[in-house]
């Protein structure tokens, strides 16, 4: 058997998320259906992680096994010709047998986009916030999330994962004209984590929370007071050890 690594980008607006679910369409299912048509065999793919309903990806990684070598260039072209317009295979390559798209990943980076005005081109990919939002307060809070710690405060209640420990290595806000961009990198993320962090940060930037109250939420594992909408969240990059 041959092991293949693929990279896909997608607009998650019309999907229930990455993972296959009963009675709802997913990114994983669309790719598997396309692969079955091209390779004439049922194919199961595994992604680097699950993105929620409405979340997008610039670089989602997946892997699958197949009985023989394939022409990668023509397979990518064929897949993209039958996949929906909001899903695109960016690359496909033969990889070593020990590779696993999820467990071999060393770092994942997410981008969250906030628009400060109505923008018809960014509406599906950003959270539009009008009114007071102090960028300097966003900068003041960004470093609080760096380090290896328990992120229970930012975990959706329905997430049954045992460990809420994540090691965040990067957390930065950027001000680009009429948009605020937030990048966060970690070894792993739990369900709702980035959206919870952004929500808490926005409440602080609006002046609705003090720094003491923010620290109380984090240290006492209280739930974030606000979850940012999924449409502004983008899986930006997944990195592997060479």
- Residues marked active site are found at 52
> What span, in angstroms and rounded, lies between the C-alpha atoms of 90 and 134?
37
CA angle 114, 117, 120 (to 5 degrees): 90
Structure tokens at 147: 């380090």
CB 89 within 8 A of CB 8: yes
> What span, in angstroms and rounded, lies between the C-alpha atoms of 89 and 31?
9
CB 234 within 8 A of CB 112: yes
Q: 238 exposed, middle or buried (CB, 10 Å; 0-12, 13-18, 19+)?
A: buried
Q: 164 exposed, middle or buried (CB, 10 Å; 0-12, 13-18, 19+)?
A: middle
């Amino acid at each position: 058997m041959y092991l293949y690594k693929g990279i896909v980008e997608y607009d998650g607006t019309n999907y229930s998320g990455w993972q296959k679910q009963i009675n709802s369409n997913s990114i994983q299912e669309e790719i598997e259906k396309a692969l079955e048509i091209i390779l004439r065999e049922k194919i199961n793919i595994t992604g680097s992680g699950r993105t929620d309903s409405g979340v997008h990806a610039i670089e989602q990684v997946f892997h699958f096994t197949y009985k023989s070598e394939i022409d990668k260039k023509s397979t990518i072209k064929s897949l993209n010709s039958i996949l929906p317009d909001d899903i695109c295979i960016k690359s496909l390559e033969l990889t070593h047998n020990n590779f696993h798209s999820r467990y071999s990943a060393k770092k994942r980076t997410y981008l969250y986009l906030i628009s400060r005005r109505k923008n018809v081109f960014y509406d599906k990919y950003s959270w539009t916030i009008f009114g007071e939002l102090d960028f300097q307060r966003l900068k003041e809070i960004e470093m609080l999330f760096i380090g290896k710690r328990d992120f229970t405060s930012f975990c959706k209640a329905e997430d049954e994962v045992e460990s809420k420990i994540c090691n965040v290595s990067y957390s930065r806000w950027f001000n680009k004209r009429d948009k605020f961009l937030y990048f966060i990198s970690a070894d792993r993320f739990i369900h709702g984590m980035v959206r919870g962090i952004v929500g808490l940060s926005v409440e602080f930037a609006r002046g609705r929370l003090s720094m003491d109250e923010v620290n109380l939420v984090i240290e006492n594992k209280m739930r974030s007071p606000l979850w940012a909408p999924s449409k502004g969240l983008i899986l930006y990059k997944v990195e592997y050890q060479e």
